Amino acid sequence: MKKLLTCLFIIFVGILCANPIAEGPYITEIYFDETGWSLELFSMIIDGNLDNCKISSNTDEAYFITGIPFPQDAYIVVTQDDLQTPLVIDEQGDHVTSYYYDGEVSWCTFGTLQTMVLAPIDGQSLVPVSFSSTGGMTTDISFCKDNSPTLGGINNNGGIQGIFSGYVYDSLMNPVPNVQIEHFPYNYNNPDVVTNEIGYFEKEMYAMNFNCNIHLGALASMDSIISIEPDSLNYYEFVFENYVVGINDYEISPPSSNYNLSNYPNPFNPTTEISFSVPQTSLSVTIEIYNSRGQKIKTISVILSAAEQCIEGSITWDGTNQNNKQVPSGVYLYKLVSGGEELAANKMLLLK
């Protein structure tokens, strides 16, 4: 597995660079213990030594001592003892780069949610994994955690994945089905994580960090960064703060040319103006306002004056219910009603 990933890494470098660096050393594993750091290096081409090669971190860089053999198609492990000068690699987070002469060859950034992967804990190492597009071309290579370090040899293909699981809820903590979770690296535009009928999702993923877009079509969405630990159930809960199952799924049918209903501003705080138009035959209309539970909280009546073709009007809602008490932030449904018939409906968002 490790050999295959290294081959893909070299292909990836070749795709990105017009004149790719032919030699190694490529970083294929990073490990920390009580003695310090250890790096595993690999190259399919070098068959000599590490003279003129160097390693850098966020704080410094150091060249290898002369005469370290580097056989072709082999894994070697190097430590601080193999460098000419001291090099600090911070196990809590760093950017480690390998160079052949002055050419950057491979790198690993770790330690925060904004990097490829969090810092490894005791017994873990960092190893590269590749992500391919549908067509099979390598598009990205990142590092992930490995619970089965194999310094100096081919990876045993174990301990590099965990389970990404959890629930998606609306603002009232109702489970939301059919939510798509896109994640990058790998499939940001091709979601393969979808909540079931009780809002639950589960997916095996590499042990690293992912940028996620959680969305229910155009109704609700959010962005988040997650971190997956290997051989673990990584549980997350996501809440759409301004979405409610039922009220947000209310089908708003486009009104006919005889009716119009809208509000401005939207979102609003503390007031919004609801504007409407009705045919001449509708001399009395009401605006009915419903909360996210589908409960009618206020009815506002409007007496209209006749006109030639249609009648336009507006009312101001101040965010209060029928008892003139302020209502909380959330999504509200409002309807235009005349003679007991619903003429049009729309949604508005109160944000306090």
Q: Where are the domains of the chain?
A: 2-146, 161-239, 260-350
Query: pTM of whole model > 0.75?
Result: no
Average pLDDT for 10-27: 48
User: Phi and psi (nearest 5°) for 144?
Assistant: -130, 170
* Residue scoring higher pLDDT (143 or 258): 143
Helix (H) or strand (E) holding 14: helix 2-16
Tens of pLDDT, residue by residue over 168-220, are 998 878 899 999 998 888 754 556 799 999 999 999 999 999 999 999 987 88
Is 3.40.50.10190 the CATH number for 161-239? no
pLDDT, residue 261, reads 87
Q: Could you give the CA distance from residue 138 to residue 131 in angstroms, rounded to a whole number?
A: 6
pLDDT category of residue 255 using cuts at 50, 70 and 90: low
Average pLDDT for 1-23: 40
pLDDT category of residue 21 using cuts at 50, 70 and 90: very low
Nearest to 181 by CA among 197, 169, 166, 192: 192
Q: Could you give the CA distance from residue 24 to residue 50 in angstroms, rounded to a whole number?
A: 9
* Residue scoring higher pLDDT (233 or 24): 233
pLDDT, residue 13, reads 39
Q: Is the pLDDT of residue 32 over 70?
A: yes
Q: Could you give the CA distance from residue 273 to residue 271 in angstroms, rounded to a whole number?
A: 7
Is 2.60.40.4070 the CATH number for 260-350? yes
pLDDT, residue 248, reads 66
pLDDT category of residue 78 using cuts at 50, 70 and 90: very high
pLDDT, residue 135, reads 46
Q: What is the mean pLDDT of the chain?
A: 82
Average pLDDT for 260-266: 88
Residues 198-222: b if buried by 16+ CB within 10 A, e if exposed: ebebeeebbbbbbebbbbbeeebee
Nearest to 70 by CA among 85, 53, 86, 84: 53
Q: Could you give the CA distance from residue 122 to residue 127 in angstroms, rounded to a whole number?
A: 15
**% of the chain at pLDDT higher than 90:** 46
The highest-confidence range among 21-35, 48-62, 267-281, 308-322, by mean pLDDT, is 48-62
DSSP state, residue 119: P
The highest-confidence range among 68-72, 134-138, 304-308, 338-342, by mean pLDDT, is 68-72
Q: Is the pLDDT of residue 225 over 50?
A: yes
Q: Could you give the CA distance from residue 124 to residue 121 in angstroms, rounded to a whole number?
A: 6
Helix (H) or strand (E) holding 6: helix 2-16
Q: Is the pLDDT of residue 12 over 50?
A: no
Dihedral over alpha carbons 115, 120, 124, 129 (to 10 degrees): 0
Q: Point out which residues pair with 311 in neighbouring strands.
A: 278
Q: Point out which residues pair with 348 in neighbouring strands.
A: 332
